[in-house]
Amino acid sequence: MSTPHPVSDPAPIGYMVPEFPAQTHAFFWREMGAIEEAGVPVTLLSTRRPPAGACPHAFAEAARNRTRYLFPPDMGAALALLARHPGRLLAMVRYILGLHETPLATRLKFLALIPSAADLAALCAEKGIVHVHIHSCANAAHLGAMAHILTGLTYSLTLHGDLPVYGTDHKAKMARATFVSAVTAPLQRSLRDEISETQPYPVIWMGVDTETFKPDPAQRKTRPEDRFEVVTVARLNNMKGHRYFLRAMAELRAEGIDVHYRIAGDGPEQAAIETEIAKLGLGDHVTLLGSVDEAVVLELLQSSDALALTSINKGEAAPVAVMEAMSCGVPPICSIIGGTGDMITDGQDGFLVPQKDVAAITQAARRLATDPGLRATMGQAARQTAQAKFDHRRNALALYEEIRKTAG
C-alpha cells in the first residue's frame, strides 16, 4: 500500500468533527489517518459524544477512545484560562451577542459555548497545537472563533453543504478563519457570493481509499448473469430520493428486465420506503439492509452493476458513496445536485439525471442493464476518475498543506 510523502517538520494539529464518530464519518477517519501517515501528529476532537450505536463501522470504538469531547467541558481548565484573561472573556461575550442574524434567545444560549471554547483553547495550549481544522460551518465553527479570540489559536473550516444548512452568521464564524475550504466547486461559488469575492476558498474533495475500494470481478460471479444489481448507500431520508429509483425499477421490471435493488442505510423514511416497495409490487426484488459497516459497503459495491443516488432538493454536496462506487468501477446513476456535475461526466463515467425525473432514471438504468459492454467501459472510466480526483491521501495532504501555508 502506498503512503503519502512524509511532511517535513510537521506541526501538530487538532482535527474536529461534530458528534464523531457516526454512520457517515468513515471519510473523516480515513482523512485523519492519511494525515497521520504523513507524519503529522493529530489530536482528534469533537463536540459531544454521539448516541450509542451511531457508528456501525469497525473503527468506531478506536475513534471514540481517542476523541476528546468538548461537551461537557473540563470546567477546571476552562475557568482557569478564562480567569487569566477577563478582557478576552468579555470579547467572547461580545462576539456571541454580536451575531445579529441569530435570534437573541439563541445567542443567549450560545453563551454556554464559552466554557467549551476555553476548554478547546486550554487543551491545544497544553498539547502545543497552534491550529485546529473544523469539519463544519455550524455551531462548532463558533468554538473555533471564540478560542481564537481567547488565545490566538488559529482555525480553519470545511463547508460540506449549502450554507443555510449550517445556520446563520457565517461571516462572523469565518472572519477569523485562516481559510475555508469547500468540498465542491458550487459550494466554493456560494462562499464567494455570500461571504467574500476576494478569498480563495480552496476546493478539497472528500476522499476515498482507492486501494481498498477497487473492482473485484469475483464478487459478481455468485449471481445469475442476466440479473442487473443496483445498490444505494444512503440514509433513509426523504431528500435521498429512493422512491424515484424504485419507480424506475418498476418500469424496467415491467419490460422484463431482471433488476434487483439493495439499499444500505437507516433513517426516518424506512416506513415510507417500505410502503412504496409494496405499492409497486417490488417486495421480492428489493432488500433493505439497514445500517452497515464499511466492509459490507465494499462488498455491496463490488457485487453491483450500478449505484443509484437519486437525491432531491438541497443538502447533497459531494456524496462519498458516489466516490466509493466509482473507485470500485461501478457506474453511478446520480441526480444533478450539489457537486455531482463536477464528479461525473455524463455518459462517460456515469449518468447524471434531472431530479425527480423517473423517465431519465429509467433510461439510464435501461442502458446499463441491457449493455454489458457499456457497463464495463463506463466502470473503467469511473475507476480512472476516482483515482485521479478522489484519492483520500492526495486530498488529505492538500488539506494539511493549506493548513501549513495559512497557519504558519
Average of per-residue pLDDT across 318-331: 96
For CA atoms 329, 334, 338, 342, the dihedral sign is: positive
Average pLDDT, stretch 241-246?
A: 98
Give the other-Cβ count within 10 Å of 277's Cβ: 23
Split at pLDDT 50, 70, 90, the class of 188 is very high
Domains 13-207+391-407 and 217-390 agree in fold: yes
Confidence of residue 314 (pLDDT cuts 50, 70, 90): confident
Cα-based distances in Å from 37 to 34, 128, 211, 356, 393: 5, 20, 15, 42, 9
332, 233 contact by CB (below 8 A): no
* Average pLDDT of span 29-33: 96
Q: What percent of the chain has pLDDT over 70?
A: 98
SS3 for 179? coil
- C-alpha distances in angstroms, 153 versus 77, 125, 129, 206, 223? 16, 8, 8, 25, 56
Quick check: 281 pLDDT over 50?
yes
pLDDT score at 41: 96
The pLDDT value recorded for residue 5 is: 64
Output Rg (C-alpha) for the chain, integer angstroms: 23
Percent of the chain surpassing pLDDT 90: 89
Find the mean pLDDT for residues 258-287.
97
List the one residue out of 167, 168, 143, 139 whose CA is nearest residue 155: 143
Please state, in angstroms and rounded to a whole number, the distance separating the CA atoms of residues 123 and 130.
11
Copy the grid coordinates of residue 17.
468533527
Enumerate the domain spans of the chain.
13-207+391-407, 217-390
Distance, CA of 108 to chain centre: 30
Does residue 3 carry a pLDDT above 70?
Answer: no
The class level of CATH for 13-207+391-407 reads alpha beta
Residue 356 and residue 362 in contact, taking contact as beta carbons nearer than 8 Å: no
**Degrees, nearest 5: CA angle 40-46-48:** 165
More confidently predicted of 111 and 1? 111
Q: Is the pLDDT of residue 4 over 60?
A: no
Report CA-CA distances (Å) from 39 to 3, 9, 128, 175: 10, 9, 16, 30
Does the domain at 217-390 match CATH 3.40.50.720? Answer given as: no
- The mean pLDDT value for 150-160 works out to 97
Assign 1 a pLDDT band (cuts: 50, 70, 90). Answer: very low
Q: What is the DSSP string of 330-384?
A: --EEEES-TTHHHH--BTTTBEEE-TT-HHHHHHHHHHHHH-HHHHHHHHHHHHH
Tens of pLDDT, residue by residue over 373-399, are 999 999 999 999 999 999 999 999 999
Model pLDDT for residues 219-235, shown as the tens digit of each residue: 876 667 789 999 999 99
Average confidence score pLDDT of the chain:
95
